[in-house]
Structure 1
Amino acid sequence: MEFSLLGPVTVTDERAELPLGPPKRRSVLAMLLLQPNTTVSVEQLTASVWEEEPPEHARTVIQGHVSKLRATLAGGGAEQYGVELTTRGSAYLLRLPESLVDAHRFSELAALARPTAAPEQAVGLLHEALTLWRGPALTGTVSSPPLAAAAHALEERRLTAVESLGTAYGSLGEHDRAAAVLAAEAVTHPLREGLVAALMLALYRAGRQSDALDRYHHTRRLLADELGVDPGERLRAAYQRILTGAHAGQPDRPAAGPGRNRTVPPPGRTPPDAAPAPGTAAGTPPGTVPPPRPTGALPPPGSTGAVTPPPAGAEPPTGAPGPADGAWPPGGSAGPPRAAGGPTAPGRPAPPQLLPRPPAGFLGRTAESAQLTRLALPGGAASADSALVLVSGPAGVGKTALAVRWAHSHADAFPDGRLFADLRGFSGGEEAQPGQVLREFLLALGVEAARIPESADAAAALYRSLAADRALLVVLDNARSSAQVRPLLPAGPACATLVTSRSRLDGLVATDSARPVRLHALDTEDGVALLGAVLGQDRVTEDPAAAHELVALCNGLPLALRAAAAQLTARPRWRLARLASALRDERKRLALLSAEDTGVAAALRASVARLSADDVRLLATLGTSFAREVDAGAVAELAGSDPDVTRDALDRLAEVHLIDEEATNRYVMSDLVKLFAQEGRDRPDPGRDPDGG
């Protein structure tokens, strides 16, 4: 039995996740798990379950939730795991081995890590600790002050572990990896000055002085604009050190044999503590004399931290990049798995694990998942060549979620690693260049930064040669064009590639034998199930007719349904019928189906940003002058244009799934796209693609 706090609050036994019920019951369990083997008073539980003044019968409600939790745990065989929920007067006690709680295991692993004294072990320990996180802590509980404070404390501990991981990589001289780990968190925590300072120094040591200085000035402007303050001492000190090249206060200690004759444990495995053989430095093969430790001075820009070439037969490191927002960005300067033009080296780095964390609350898609399995798994329908599967569909339909969920479920079929890249094809900003992605992939596969070719074509050739005899899974998310994807395709027959895109990418189908998997909106049953998973089944069951109407008003789009669920989660006193009534007002629907910078309108803006001005005008015409179904001839007549030109324009809109071709020359537009077109929202959104592809 396992208890999870680092993400959605869940309990799983050997078979499946146990049904915990509504958010208030999960909140009671979370408070008990945050203080295991300690009595928790009814007053404490009451404060955690109600955001505002609790009702008079609060004690009775708490008793009911505890009773249901006790029955649920008993049904999962709690007794055999040493788990017992008991009453102690006016308090409750959850007795259990603390190792069953993921937050406890995380704290133990993080506490064991010594990033400067034992960086090799620290990388493995911290990597294992961070993989326990599956999303924001305490997801699914009530947003009460006690639980919000507990979630914030857990998040602070996670960020501290990420900073320690960056320190460990820096101590090993692997500054590219340190920068990759820290950069991902700096994006979501841009005002955390300690994190930004560490990132600046890692960038400088990796030979990226201009990037480091840009990061400082960007943060300085943010602090001034948002808080009205100047940079703090740590940030200013890092800036001065970079400008002067002075000692950074942190040793840059490469491992024996310049960072290559060591073994960093892979994720999920605790590193051994065995002492080296007499006369042999730790991590150094017998007969090899390790190089002297550097003095700790800041290396000049462009330095990889290496001191001398490794001895013949030295084992390359097995350290893998670490997660950020669920994904571990590639980085590092480990030795390549094979010498150029030579045979495979005796050792390889640990398989890269770059996938984002599995999507929470994923439901349905059984047929599409089975289709992916048939087309992508080794030995499947595409086994003669490297499998290439294209998952396409409209914005917000859940392409990324399906691809990432499938990739995690079938990770064992690809023992040499899983690579992931967001190509930002429909993100409203600059799309990722193949050369940038190739560099990240090569670093993840163990190639030294200094050995990566400058030419994108040469880098692609090296990437294909490394993948030729490996079983790799490559997920290329949010692609805009076939040309963006082709340099990133591995050549090995045991490899598989999943591409997600809002475009059909007919070029990949025509020239690269891509197998298309079209993703449609959820049916009513799956849509209602998704609402139940996010809101709690009790809330949906009390008003099933309204739940069905919400699915229809959201066009069955998972993104829209999650945005609607966010509105209801923020308003726990609203019934589903109240939101359904509000969504019937077409003037408010798109606004209500948004949560901060995420929502249907933002996703559609990113799609429309890739259209020509003529196609944007055509989309607006369809939204304002026609019903949901249109005929190509009628559109051409209204526009006063050549029918063939009009059909080509309609096909371009269909290619990016803004409309669908229902029959020859007959097209249909969803209600949400029609509302968006009527509002004339034709400007790109500067934020990140909310659908992830």
Structure 2
Amino acid sequence: MGKTALALHAAHLVADRYPGGAVLLPMSGPDGAPRPAADAAAALRALLRCRDGGAPCLVILDDVVHPDQVRDLLDATGPGAVIVTSRLGLAALVATHGPAVVQLGALSPRESDALLTAVLGRERVAAEAAAARTLAELCGHVPLALRIVAARLLTRPRTRLADYAEWLRRDLPARLALPDDPRMSVPLALDGALRRLPAPLADAHLRLARLHGRITAPATAGALAIPETEAEELLERLLDHGLLEDDQPGTLRMNELFRAHALRRTARTGDEVPRAVTATARRALPSGAT
């Protein structure tokens, strides 16, 4: 959803307030493994020693996996400020430190239109307004997907938006990727997100993609063959990981792009999703760490 990009953008906007500059400290590896707190603290101390005479500095702790990774670091930054990015809600950190919270999610239809217009130009988007809306819907209004679509269309100025939408629809979300940069790939990004989850949660996500429309605890309990109370806790964890979104009280929903990816994953590995979730969900649910 662009957490790191937003943090870096914010750092540039407030650069004049922090004469000591800004540092970005990765808090997890490419595989999602959390960086040990002691290692992160040593790296941060080394970075801060290089700053200008102890002047206020802006520290970005990027892709935090668990609150315990950063609690001690928050006291080590001196007179500066800290931006923490995470795929998780980090509610425990919010409770103890009370920071300002910015929750990123899919864009609104208006924001999606503004993004496409900014890249492709007002004239091209206005000429095929309905097709532009269809493209945004196929992308689930996810910023990464929209940027990939916009980049492809920018390099194909003669391609009609409607034709491109139809081509995209035939193999979604596999075609939401740029061949010259593996980082610009919706399937790879979502595969990575699932690899970070405990296996029962990942399996539950794949199963819940088969539910149409709103997702409730009773429907989840039936789909996964678990008690409703455990279904509620499982849904809370998927919500915390950003794989579900709030809809109405008692109901959640899955982004249509995430759903398309999950259904494609299921089809690729066979008709049946592994039933590990029904056997091991009880063991996986109590732990808040990933």
TM-score range, shorter chain: 0.7 to 0.9
SS at match of 2:102: strand
Aligned to 2:166: 581
Superposed CA offset, 1:358-378 (max 9, x none): xxxxxxxxxxxxxxxxxxxxx
Where 1:445 maps in the other structure, the secondary structure is: helix
Instruction: Say if 2:187 is the partner of 1:601.
Output: yes
Match of 2:22 in 1: 418
Give, in whole Å, the separation in 2 of the partners of 1:678 and 1:536: 34
User: 2:219 aligned with 1:618, yes or no?
Assistant: no
Q: CA deviation at 1:493?
A: 7.0
Aligned mates of 1:638, 1:526 — CA distance in 2: 34
Rounded Cα–Cα distance in structure 1 between residues aligned with 2:38 and 2:122: 47
Is contact 1:568-1:574 (8 Å) kept? Answer: yes
Specify the SS of the correspondent of 2:209.
helix
Counterpart mapping for 1:33-112 below 5 A: none
Q: Percent same amino acid at aligned positions?
A: 34
Residue type of the alignment partner of 2:119: V
1:434 is displaced (CA, Å) by: 3.3
Q: 1:508 to 1:429 in 2, by over 3 A?
A: closer
What does the per-residue CA deviation read over 1:203-235, in whole Å, with 9 as the maximum and x for residues that have no partner? xxxxxxxxxxxxxxxxxxxxxxxxxxxxxxxxx
Which amino acid in 2 is paired with 1:603?
A: A
Q: Hey, what does 1:437 align to over in structure 2?
A: 40
Report whether the alignment pairs 1:659 with 2:244: yes
Structure of greater Rg: 1
* CA 1:638–1:542: 2 relative to 1, 3 Å: closer
- Is 2:139 aligned against 1:534? no
Q: Structure 2 CA distance, aligned partners of 1:636 and 1:407?
A: 44
Return the alpha-carbon distance in structure 2 between the equivalents of residues 446 and 670 of structure 1.
Answer: 44
Correspondence for 1:635? 220
Who is 1:166 aligned against?
none
The one-letter amino acid of 2:21's match is G
Q: Of residues 130, 134, 139 in structure 2, which corresponds to 1:549?
A: 134
Equivalence for 2:59: 474
- Change in CA separation of 1:534 and 1:433 when aligned onto 2, cut-off 3 Å: farther
Answer whether contact 1:628 1:671 (CA < 8 A) is retained: no
Counterpart secondary structure, 1:571: coil
Matches within 5 A, 1:183-194: none
Q: Is the Cα–Cα contact under 8 Å of residues 139 and 146 in structure 2 kept in the other structure? A: yes
- Inter-partner Cα distance in structure 1 for 2:224 and 2:241: 21
CA contact (8 A) 1:480 1:501 kept: yes
**Residues 442/639 of structure 1: CA separation in 2 closer, same or farther (3 Å cut):** closer
In structure 1, give the amino acid aligned to 2:177. S
Name the aligned partner's letter for residue 516 of structure 1: V
Secondary structure of 2:113 counterpart: helix
How far apart are the structure 1 equivalents of 2:247 and 2:109?
A: 20
* Cα deviations by residue, 1:497-519 (Å, 9 ceiling, x for unpaired): 11111110112112222332112
Distance 2:152 2:2 in 1: 19
> 1:513 aligned to 65, 80, 98, which one?
98
CA distance, structure 2, for counterparts of residue 510 and residue 637 of structure 1:
33
CA contact (8 A) 1:470 1:492 kept: no
Confirm or deny: 8 A CA contact 1:623 1:677 kept in the other structure.
yes
Partner SS state of residue 555, structure 1: coil
1:121-160 aligned at under 5 Å gives the runs none
- Following superposition, the deviation at residue 562 of structure 1 comes to 0.7
Inter-partner Cα distance in structure 2 for 1:444 and 1:500? 19
Map 1:159-558; keep pairs closer than 5 Å.
397-424=1-28, 427-446=30-49, 470-491=55-76, 494-558=79-143
Q: 1:674 aligns with which of 250, 256, 259?
A: 259
| Alpha-carbon distance in 2 for matches of 1:527, 1:615 | 30
Deviations 1:99-127 (A, max 9, x none): xxxxxxxxxxxxxxxxxxxxxxxxxxxxx
Alpha-carbon distance in 2 for matches of 1:474, 1:644: 40
Q: Deviations over 1:366-403 (max 9, x none)?
A: xxxxxxxxxxxxxxxxxxxxxxxxxxxxxxx2222221
Q: 1:591 corresponds to which residue?
A: 174
Q: Please report how far the alpha carbon of residue 432 of structure 1 lies from its aligned counterpart in structure 2 after TM superposition.
A: 3.0
CA distance in 1, matches of 2:216, 2:68: 32
- What SS class does the counterpart of residue 595 from structure 1 fall into? coil
| Mapped contact 1:567–1:592 kept (Cα < 8 A) | no
1:623: Cα distance to partner? 0.8
Kindly report the root-mean-square deviation, in angstroms, between the aligned alpha carbons of the 2 structures. Answer: 2.6
Is contact 1:422-1:478 (8 Å) kept? yes
Contact 1:414 1:472 in 2 (8 A): yes
Name stretches of at least 5 consecutive residues in structure 2 with no aligned partner: 270-290
Give the whole-Å Cα distance in 1 for the aligned partners of 2:9 and 2:70.
21
Q: Tell me how far 1:578 sits from its aligned partner.
A: 1.1
User: Which one has a larger percent helix, Structure 1 or Structure 2?
Assistant: 2
Deviation at 1:636, TM superposition (A): 0.7
Change (3 A) 1:637 1:430: closer
Q: CA deviation at 1:429?
A: 4.6
Q: Secondary structure at the match of 2:10?
A: helix
Q: Following the alignment from structure 2 to structure 1, what is the Cα–Cα distance between the partners of residues 92 and 32?
A: 23
Counterpart CA distance in 2 for 1:524 and 1:607 is: 24
- C-alpha contact (below 8 Å) 1:423/1:432 kept by paired residues: yes
Q: Structure 1: which 5+ runs fail to align? A: 1-396, 448-462, 684-693
Mapped partners of 2:102, 2:32: distance in 1: 26
- Structure 2 length normalisation: TM-score? 0.82
Q: CA deviation at 1:568?
A: 1.7
Residue 40 of structure 2 aligns with an amino acid whose one-letter code is V
Aligned residue identity for 1:639: L
> Given residue 540 of structure 1, which amino acid in structure 2 is its aligned partner?
V
